[in-house]
């Protein structure tokens, strides 16, 4: 049984590529990245999808009457492709309840800090690393968590820690954290794929739905 993975992106998509390559080289066995959806055209993630042979789709939220309709369209497109697990990879929109209800416990996100620190609305990318440096933290890292209806919330599945070094800039810290993101995100995805396979329920709506 091959488990279908869907990915939501807004930018360069390096974490999407890390997951896709882990699938393609067998580190995440019996899985397939079936669809990448971006809320923005022309982003690097779409180029990565083309290079990796993964189907992609741009869905502009401005073309929908509200975010609920937008989230249900995302769910519908993932359903068409048999997606059982959704991964956020630099997706900057808040995930609405409609999509969460379609995939309870099966939407993952990675955040570039040690949650619950440096999180919440507007905290993404270099803003997170600027916050870490501004607070004079001695360590930072990244967190893979299950998505719920709050920003950067939901059960933590794995964290990786990195030191904050003297003279660090947001760019140097970001590079150190990103290396760990690319390491742990595929690990967590692989574990959840195996869990879904054991449950034998690929519908997204598990026992909670």
Report CA-CA distances (Å) from 9 to 40, 108, 141, 188: 8, 12, 21, 18
pLDDT of residue 43: 97
Mean pLDDT of 12-27: 97
Higher pLDDT, 204 or 150: 150
Decide if 183 contacts 176 (C-beta within 8 A): no
- What is the distance between the alpha carbons of residues 171 and 147, in angstroms, rounded to a whole number? 26
- The string of pLDDT tens digits covering residues 77-136 is 999 999 999 999 999 999 999 999 999 999 999 999 999 999 988 888 899 999 999 999
The token duo for 111 is: 């955040």
Residue 77 lies in a domain: yes
Residue 204 lies in a domain: no
Share of the chain above pLDDT 70, in %: 96
Active site residues: 111
- Per-residue confidence at 208, pLDDT binned at 50, 70, 90? very low
Residue 99 lies in a domain: yes
Mean pLDDT of 10-23: 98
pLDDT of residue 151: 83
pLDDT of residue 205: 52
Residue 206 lies in a domain: no
Beta strands in the chain (DSSP E): 3-9, 31-38, 56-58, 83-89, 107-111, 139-146, 156-163
CATH number at residue 166: 3.40.50.170
- What is the distance between the alpha carbons of residues 209 and 37, in angstroms, rounded to a whole number? 23
Residue 17 lies in a domain: yes
Mean pLDDT of 141-162: 94
Residue 205 lies in a domain: no
pLDDT of residue 168: 97
Torsion of the alpha carbons at 179, 2, 198 and 191, rounded to the nearest 10: 0
Residue 59 has pLDDT above 70, yes or no: yes
- What is the distance between the alpha carbons of residues 202 and 53, in angstroms, rounded to a whole number? 23
Structural domain span for residue 25: 3-199
Structural element, H or E, at residue 73: helix 67-80
For the chain, the domain total comes to: 1
Residue 207 lies in a domain: no
Mean pLDDT of 182-193: 98
Residue 192 has pLDDT above 50, yes or no: yes
The residues with which 161 forms a beta bridge, in sequence order, are 141
- What's the DSSP call for residue 110? E
């Amino acid at each position: 049984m091959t488990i279908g993975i869907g990915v939501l992106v807004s930018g360069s998509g390096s974490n999407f590529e890390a997951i896709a390559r882990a699938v393609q080289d067998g580190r995440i066995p019996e899985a397939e990245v079936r669809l990448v959806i971006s809320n923005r055209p022309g982003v690097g993630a779409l180029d990565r999808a083309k290079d990796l042979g993964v189907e992609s789709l741009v869905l502009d939220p401005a073309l929908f009457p509200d975010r609920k309709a937008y989230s249900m369209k995302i769910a519908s497109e993932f359903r068409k492709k048999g997606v059982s697990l959704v991964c956020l990879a630099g997706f900057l929109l808040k995930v609405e309840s409609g999509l969460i209800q379609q995939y309870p416990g099966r939407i993952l996100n990675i955040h570039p800090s040690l949650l619950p620190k440096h999180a919440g609305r507007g905290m993404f990318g270099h803003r997170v690393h600027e916050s870490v440096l501004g607070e004079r933290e001695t360590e930072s890292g990244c967190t893979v968590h299950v998505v719920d209806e709050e920003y950067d919330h939901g059960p933590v599945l794995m964290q990786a820690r990195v030191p904050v070094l003297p003279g660090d800039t947001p760019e140097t810290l970001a590079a150190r954290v990103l290396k760990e993101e690319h390491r742990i995100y595929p690990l967590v995805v692989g574990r959840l794929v195996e869990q879904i396979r054991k449950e034998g329920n690929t519908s997204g709506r598990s026992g909670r739905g």
